[in-house]
Structure 1
Amino acid sequence: MCNMQKQIRLKNRPLGTPTHEDFQIVEAPIEKPSKGEILIRTVYISVDPYLRGRMNDVKSYIPPFGLNEVISSGVIGQVVESQSALFAKGDVVLGILGWQEYSIAKETSIRKIDQNLAPASAFLSVLGMTGLTAYFGLLDIGKPKEGETVVVSGAAGAVGSIVGQIAKIKGARVVGIAGSDEKVKFIIDELGFDAAINYNTQDVGTALQETCPNGIDVYFENVGGQISDSIFPLLNNFARIPVCGAISSYNNEKADIGPRVQAYLIKTSSLMQGFTVGNYSSRFGEGAKELGSWLKEGKLKYEETLTEGFDHTIDAFLDLFKGANLGKSLIKVAEIE
């Protein structure tokens, strides 16, 4: 192992859609672990839309990235040196770590993963934060009932694809909204959605009226914007709207302005509630157990868009805002030895 590694740092706070110029790849020394620490070689890096918000210097539920600091997200890695009694060389671990080839982590900030349950990468998708986001957002806020109609935007993405499958497990009728014919085919043929809409080729409002003739009981919000505007007129009484994301506005330079939702919510006594998966941290064990059980039983499928090579991490992140990914977007940096 050499003494230097590559890191990706935030160079500028993006104005609008991020570009390569907003990041820099630098070389930095590989540090040695102190007592209670572990040196980890990066295997997989997760890129997620919410990271865009952390590039703005604004108050949010999570602190912004500092300029000229290493960006961080979910990482699967392998221990190469341990100064901890809890971890040994060769252990495969999960944590929030930097976009770099090697990381130092405190023993309390990472956990081992069991590759007997699923391949390592699954712990960044269906068995990780995205799966847990889908699980708690849909079941705790959406509360789908058998026979109800559930609509999911971003339906072929990491969270949306799991949401739709869980809704089917609960006996709901599921309509997905996605951005290509390939994604529409995938969520119907592979994931078992009942219907799907391509927002790039169809009028979403008209298509929703056709695919949701009995109205909408649950709308799982990942996108916002004009797609969401088409949902509100079709809400049934006591509809539930878990608000997970609003990717359509993440790169806007001005405030996002659209139709006012209050009248729709009042007329239908609907619930619209934002959340982050961190709200449910005390219940992660419950969610992981259920998701793992469904996965083992073949009730859940998951898809990954895998990009090879650390140098392509920025490309994979930027591709999220082009809708290029199917399922969870990951960068494979190295092999597990």
Structure 2
Amino acid sequence: MIKITVSASKKYDVIMEQNALNKAAELLSQAEIKSDRKLCIITDKTVNSFYGKESGILWQNLSQAGFRLYKYVFEGGESNKTMSTVTAILDYLADNKFSRSDALIALGGGIVGDVTGFSAASFLRGIDYIQIPTTLLATVDSSVGGKTGVNLKAGKNLAGAFWQPSLVIFDPQVLQSLPQHMILDGIAETIKAGFINDKTIIDEAENNISIGDNRFLTQLAAKAVEVKRKVVEEDERDNGSRQLLNFGHTLAHAIEKCSNYRISHGHAVAKGMAIVSAAADEMAWTSVPCAGKILEILKKFNFPLDCPYSPSQLTEAALQDKKIRGNKITLVIPESIGKCRLKTIATDDLEEFITCGMDALKGM
């Protein structure tokens, strides 16, 4: 078992253990979530068919421990990561007389986790929730750190709240149900964490690209979560160093929006990291060239790095990003392998920056 303790506004553990779904009640008890509570499992239709059924190991384990279980299932996908989904969940909780002593379980990927977390933060001004991520991406990214939210028409994650979970449970066996492209989504985020603050992640990813090895993926995930833990504990509210976790994300969110979310988050992050690192090298903003190493690793995992959108299209989408403050935007720039820094530029210079990166990639 791997246990990582996050000491933010709420202290909680991230548990990574094979067959953890079959001992969820025990793990909840250790986190002081007692079996006299109501629990509402919130999930999407795809994940429900794998892990949310009443006959499944998670439901059976919790119900046998005495928890009173409810379930809310919604359609998956970014198009349903909306306020209307949150409102429907809140109505369901109210109709079933949930109280502040009860809790929610986010069972699924990042969309389920974000929606559930925002619902938990909103219902009765805040109730407990547990993250049980079923994708590698959610495990290393959205399940830890307390950022919750939904999309608005103008852009991604523009409505939300900081609300830390009470526990995070990752069972590596869930990776067996994921297609390769979804594993790659998570690997992109672990590579991001490595370039931010842990060169050993880069070394391990470089020397072992076996995406079918659950032990290897769990070790990478634990290292990535450890990077996130350090940053979240230092800057929980995202006013300073936590912005380092956005390496590649300003452009990734723009790419996702331009594609109407047909390009997945992890694949968009890979493209975003490539463009940003190429531009940073070209503009001599790095201590040592970084783009070559980033491209080398991403190509080893066969990430498609071409971007089908123009700098002007990406700029227009990026200028609606929540990270913009006034006429400034803060970018995350790789300074060396395993170290990034923040650099604020004028929004008027963003298109030039993106153009520089995309042009540089053509010659690499």
Task: Give TM-score scaled by structure 1 length.
Answer: 0.30
More helix by share: 2
Larger RCO, structures 1/2 (Cα 8 Å, 6+ apart): 1
More strand by share: 1
